Structure 1
Amino acid sequence: MSNQALQAVLIEHVRAETAHQLEATLATLHPECLFEDYGAHQVFRGRAGAAQHYTQWWDAFDLLFSRGEHGSGRWTTDGHYIAEGEFSGRHVGPLGSLAPTGRPITFRFCVFVSFRDGLLASERFYYDLADVAAQLGVDAGGLRAAFASAQAAGARD
């Protein structure tokens, strides 16, 4: 597929993700997709794993995406997409063992996206977990443990 066709899928993915529309978000993902959240040290496989990844974030934070002051996106010569952006919002719901703090957060991220059969095949998501933890008033180890407990709870559901 051309980058233009893949970009249309990517735009729909971001639109659905931003609107917290799970089924529409999952429809843009390859059935064997892979999500690697390097900040939280989490890996999710397949659409069920992706659903768990999204819902743990959506349930805990009311984040809004923006390109931010330094954000950008670029296609590689082999059809991958690399983007920088910014999330901002508030910690509004539980994240595993971490009760909602109500605190605002803003953090920059970088994501590497690959495609397969015209759908998103993988996302590698990088951000500074220690920065997010400090904004929430917890240490990075505590936030990483909260993500781990959220993932474990989601795996049981």
Structure 2
Amino acid sequence: MTQAREVLDRHTAAFNDHDIDALLRNVSPAAVWISPEGPAEGHEEIASYIGQFFAAFPDVRAIVWETVDHGDLAAEELMMVGTHEGTYLMPGGRAVPGTGRPIQLRCCAMCTVEDGLMVSMRFYFDQLELLAQLGLLPEADV
């Protein structure tokens, strides 16, 4: 197991425990995270992003399907499951109040590790799939 895998495994465990402090112990203070919602740089922005996500989906968990690691890079294919109970901040600043709807969102996460800390996280998911599951797609005229 590579150091990158160990760091990403600890990150995923802390995410599933909703323990932001434990999560940040695996992250460089200068880390950059990129997600469909936008970038977050440094501990303060990353903690804010994760905290807002936990507020929107208070029971969210990551179920890891597949992992791969090579050198300083580790990746996971996963399913994010939870319930949309709080306000979700979307790209562009739109705030979507809780819908009470469940999500099962297919995702991919890739992180780069240096000196035992995550220096970058790139998190991908299909925003259209999320909007559909939240019931936020416009009605189509057929």
Contact 1:82/1:112 (<8 A) preserved: yes
Deviation string, structure 1 residues 53-75 (Cα, Å, up to 9, x no partner): 211110101212112xxx21111
Correspondence for 1:82 among 55, 75, 79? 75
List per-residue Cα deviations over 1:56-108 (Å, max 9, x = no partner).
110101212112xxx211112x3201210101111011124211000011111
Report matched runs for 1:28-43 at 5 Å: 28-37=26-35, 39-40=36-37, 42-43=38-39
Higher helix fraction: Structure 1 or Structure 2? 1
* Separation in structure 1 between the aligned mates of residue 74 and residue 107 of structure 2, nearest angstrom: 14
CA distance in structure 1 between the aligned counterparts of 2:44 and 2:53, rounded to whole angstroms? 15
TM-align CA RMSD: 1.6
Contact 2:8/2:74 (8 A) holds in 1: no
CA shift, 1:52, in A, is 1.4
The separation in 2 between residues aligned to 1:107 and 1:18, in whole angstroms, is 15
Q: Secondary structure at the match of 2:51?
A: helix
Query: 1: CA distance between counterparts of 2:76 and 2:13?
Result: 15
CA shift for structure 1 position 135: 0.7
Residue aligning to 1:66: 63
* Identical amino acids, percent of aligned pairs: 28
1:45 aligned onto 2:41: yes
**Equivalence for 2:88:** 95
C-alpha distance in structure 1 between counterparts of 2:78 and 2:100, whole Å? 23
The structure with the greater share of residues assigned to strand is 2
Deviation at 1:139, TM superposition (A): 3.3
SS of residue paired to 1:137: coil
Name structure 1 gaps, 5 residues minimum: 141-157
> Partners in 2 of 1:35 and 1:139 — Cα distance?
27
Whole-angstrom CA distance in 2 between matches of 1:9 and 1:131: 29
Deviation at 1:6, TM superposition (A): 3.6
Q: 1:99-146: CA deviations, max 9, x gaps?
A: 100001111101111012211111101100001001101139xxxxxx
The one-letter amino acid paired with 1:101 is T
Query: Which residue pairs with 2:8 in the alignment?
Result: 10
Consecutive unaligned residues of structure 2, counting only runs of 5 or more, are 90-94
Aligned residues: 132
